[in-house]
Amino acid sequence: MSIKTNKKKFPSFLSLLIMTIIVTYCVKKLKLNILKYPLSKIGIHDETYLLWNSTVVFLAGIIVFDTINNLKKFELIKQKLLLTLFLLSCSGLVGLSLFTLDYPFIHNTFSFLFFFLYPISILIFGIKTKKHFRISIISKVISVLMIITSTWLVLNIQSIPEIIFILLCFYWNTNLRYYQ
């Protein structure tokens, strides 16, 4: 008996599964209190540096892949501002892995790019897709939830908002992928 998989769903499922396994492994390996420290703390330890940072770059690649496909699907690929915002925010995620907490100013700059520009990009996407009412509403709601979780990061509430943010990111991309 073979398992049926929808090929459209597989990359989202696989990337979420990989991220979950890597976060769990690294947190347990380092005995990291996720209520006290950001997930970026994983990236500065010798035991988890390479695994964590390469996973973050992989995640950024999946998000860029999904973003470009979604912009094409909803005929927004020619919206240069929207594409630029999405790509800048994803470059922020890559920058987070390249410049760990050992470089706080640079790390925080890339953090801002990802955690604030990505929800703004989704909000603009929601505004531009008003003829797809369900997607427009979901995009707007998710962008507001992401902005709230980003605000929690500024208030030093650590890993939980990061995890919620990434889950919202997966949910939004997956929702768009299945939209007919």
Tell me the DSSP string of 16-45.
HHHHHHHHHHHHHHHT--TTTS-GGGGGGS
Maximal CA-CA distance, the chain: 54
3-state secondary structure string, 58-115?
A: HHHHHHHHHHHHHHHHCCCCCCHHHHHHHHHHHHHHHHHHHCCCCCHHHHHHHHHHHH
- The residue assigned the tokens 């992989």 is 58
Burial of 133 (0-12, 13-18, 19+ CB in 10 A): exposed
- The residue assigned the tokens 């976060």 is 23
pLDDT tens per residue across all 180 residues of the chain: 333 334 555 566 777 888 889 989 998 999 988 888 888 888 888 899 899 999 999 989 988 888 888 899 899 988 899 999 999 999 999 999 899 888 989 999 999 999 999 999 999 999 999 899 999 999 999 999 999 998 888 777 678 888 899 999 989 988 888 776
**What are the domain boundaries of the chain?**
10-178
What is this structure's pTM? 0.87
- The residue assigned the tokens 């991309």 is 173
- The residue assigned the tokens 């964590």 is 52
